[in-house]
Each structure stands twice: as structure tokens, then as C-alpha cells.
């Protein structure tokens, strides 16, 4: 099962990477990215960044695709280390509205491209992530590469949908446990919700979330999910005291989610990501649901 995911990500990354590096050298594009989603999108466009922010936590939140060893850490995205940034001599810096207060300083270094994915008015995240990918590609002159990447991504979503179609796939609620009493639940217009729609899985959580795609709830609110077949998918990291505490809760024990097989834990997936993160989620979820069906 994991084989299919690896193959996909590798084919996407490798196919794009090899000619891309040649391209980046030929045009001398030195790009620094201040957002995980944009960084992984750059990899898929075949133009690995020279530096990214928060490199140290990449393996904890993004995991895949792997970064080339040549990428330099430029500090946290809120406090980009300008001394390092200057030394990298970038041609282009990619940023998001979230980091707008850095904008004037970044612009004094070099050209800056500001891509909007998470804004109050941007609507469904997956759609705006695709739009941002196209916009980025247009600025880099890599339109065809982007179309290929997005087409591959859509094909992969379609494959997932077909793999799950006809199977007895339950609706799922997606959460990160904050502590033994609270969780974040992911829903419309979030990235994960968008993926669920594409691969034909129903989100068991009907509520609307904030524009980042999540909502903070007390765990008892999970009882709002009425469907007795619904499955709960929690992402790592789960705080160590959550499950022992929940086991003591009669309410939790009566929720459909506490029935054997109705709760599973997936490896971390970046909830504030772009198309690559959506692919990783789709792949992990499809594998998981297939295994269960």
C-alpha cells in the first residue's frame, strides 16, 4: 500500500526534479521560500529552493517530499535570519499574507512574490492552493510543468476515488488532539476537506471551520457526529495522556468512534499546506481505508 504512495511522490518529485535543476542553473533562479507548502510546490516544479524557513521542523510536519541536502535553513518564518538570507543572494523570495509584516524588509533584499492561499476570502483551500501553484509557475515560466504536476495530482485523486469506490467507505472525522479534553477538527473550507471531496469520502464533521480549515472543540462535541459508522482519524502527534484519559470517559466510550476499529492514527500531515500535502493526505487516507475495508 505504501508502495503506491511512494511511487507517486517519487515519480512526481524525480520526474520534475532532474530537468528542473538544470533549468534552475541555466536561469540562475535562486529562490527562498518562507512557507512549507510553497517549498514543497517548488520541489514539484523542479526548482528546489536554495533556502527555506523552519527547515529544522520539516521532518516533523511535512515529512514528504524529502528536501535536497543543499537547502539552507534561514531560521523561523517569522524571524527570517536576514544575515543568512543576504548571504544566499536570492533572486526571488516566496511569502504569504501571513508574513505581511516582513514584506517591506524582504522587498529591500530582492524581488518578492506573495502568494495567497489562506485568507478570509480565498474560499476552499485546495482550490486556492492550485491557483497559487499556477500563479507561482507563471512567474517562474514553468506553466507546463505546473499543469503536468496538477494533472498528475488530479489523476492521483481520481485513482484514490476509484480505489475506494464500491468499497464500504465510512464517513471520517479528522482531528488533532490538543489534550485529553480538546481537539481541532478539520472541515470545510480546509485542505483536508477538499481532499475528501475529491476522493469521494464524506466528512463526518458537518460544521464550518475558520479560513485556516480547523475548528477547536471540546471532545464531547464529537457526539454531534450522528452517523454510527463514522470513523475518527487522528493525526500524530497525539499527547501521551489522551487515550488513557478518554478510556475513563463514559461519554467517549459510548461514542461510535470508541468502538474497535473506528479510531485510527495517521502519521503527521501538514494541515496548512498545498497540493503536495493534499496528495500525502489522500495517499495515507486511501491506503488506510483500503486496508480497513
- Residues lying near another protein in the complex (CB under 8 A) are found at 54, 56-57, 61, 72-76, 78-79, 81-84, 86-88, 98, 100-102, 104-105, 176, 178-182, 184, 207, 210, 212, 214-220, 223, 226, 228, 237, 239-241, 244, 246, 248-252, 254-255, 271-272
- CB closer to another protein, 54 vs 130: 54
Query: Which residues, 6+ apart, have CB-to-CB distance to 52 below 8 Å?
Result: 32, 33, 34, 36, 39, 58, 67, 71, 73, 74
Using the minimum distance from each CB to another protein, give the nearer residue, 149 or 235: 235
CB of 41 to another protein, least distance (A): 19
User: Distance between CA atoms of 252 and 257, rounded to whole angstroms?
Assistant: 8
CA 22 from centroid of its chain's CA atoms:
27
23 or 243: whose CB is closer to another protein? 243
The three-state DSSP-derived secondary structure of 235-280 is: ECCCCCCHHHHHHCCHHHHHCHHHCCCCEEEECCCCCCCCHHHHHH
- By beta-carbon proximity to another protein, the closer residue of 184 and 280 is 184
Q: What DSSP character marks residue 117?
A: S
Shortest spacing between CB 142 and another protein, in angstroms: 27
Q: To the nearest whole angstrom, how small is the minimum distance from the Cβ of residue 191 to another protein?
A: 13
Eight-class DSSP state of 68: P
**CB neighbour list of residue 118: distance below 8 Å, 6 or more residues apart:** 96, 97, 98, 125, 128, 211, 212, 213, 272
Yes or no: say if 144 and 128 are a contact pair by the CB < 8 Å rule: no
CB of 89 to another protein, least distance (A): 9
Indicate the residue among 146 and 242 with the shorter CB distance to another protein: 242
Nearest to 96 by CA among 74, 118, 129: 118
CA distance 231 to 225: 10
**Of the two residues 173 and 199, which places its CB atom closer to another protein in the complex?**
173
Contact 273, 37 (CB under 8 A): yes
Q: How far is the CB of 139 from another protein (least distance, A)?
A: 23
Q: How far is the CB of 163 from another protein (least distance, A)?
A: 29
State in angstroms the smallest separation of the CB of 156 from another protein.
25
Q: By C-beta, is 240 or 260 nearer to another protein?
A: 240
Amino acid at each position: 500500500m505504501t508502495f503506491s504512495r511512494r511511487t507517486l511522490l517519487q515519480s512526481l518529485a524525480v520526474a520534475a526534479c532532474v530537468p528542473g535543476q538544470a533549468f534552475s542553473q541555466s536561469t540562475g533562479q535562486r529562490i527562498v521560500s518562507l512557507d512549507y507548502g510553497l517549498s514543497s510546490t517548488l520541489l514539484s516544479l523542479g526548482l528546489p529552493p536554495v533556502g527555506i524557513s523552519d527547515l529544522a521542523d520539516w521532518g516533523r510536519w511535512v515529512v514528504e517530499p524529502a528536501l535536497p541536502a543543499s537547502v539552507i535553513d534561514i531560521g523561523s518564518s517569522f524571524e527570517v535570519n536576514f544575515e543568512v538570507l543576504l548571504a544566499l543572494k536570492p533572486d526571488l523570495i516566496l511569502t504569504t499574507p501571513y508574513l505581511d509584516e516582513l514584506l517591506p524588509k524582504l522587498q529591500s533584499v530582492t524581488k518578492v512574490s506573495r502568494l495567497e492561499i489562506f485568507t478570509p476570502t480565498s474560499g476552499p483551500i485546495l482550490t486556492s492552493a492550485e491557483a497559487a501553484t499556477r500563479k507561482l509557475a507563471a512567474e517562474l515560466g514553468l506553466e507546463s510543468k505546473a499543469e503536468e504536476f496538477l494533472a498528475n495530482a488530479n489523476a492521483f485523486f481520481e485513482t484514490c476515488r476509484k480505489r475506494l469506490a464500491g468499497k464500504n467507505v465510512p464517513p471520517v472525522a479528522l482531528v488533532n488532539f490538543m489534550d485529553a479534553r480538546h481537539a481541532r477538527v478539520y472541515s470545510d473550507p480546509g485542505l483536508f476537506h477538499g481532499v475528501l471531496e475529491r476522493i469521494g469520502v464524506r466528512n463526518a464533521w458537518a460544521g464550518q471551520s475558520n479560513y485556516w480549515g480547523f475548528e477547536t472543540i471540546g471532545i464531547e462535541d464529537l457526539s454531534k457526529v450522528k452517523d454510527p459508522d463514522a470513523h475518527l482519524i487522528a493525526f500524530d502527534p497525539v499527547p501521551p495522556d489522551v487515550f488513557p484519559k478518554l478510556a475513563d470517559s463514559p461519554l467517549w466510550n459510548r461514542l461510535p468512534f470508541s468502538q474497535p476499529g473506528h479510531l485510527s492514527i495517521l502519521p503527521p500531515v501538514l494541515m496548512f499546506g498545498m497540493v503536495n500535502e493534499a496528495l500525502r493526505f489522500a495517499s495515507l487516507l486511501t491506503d488506510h481505508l483500503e486496508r480497513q475495508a
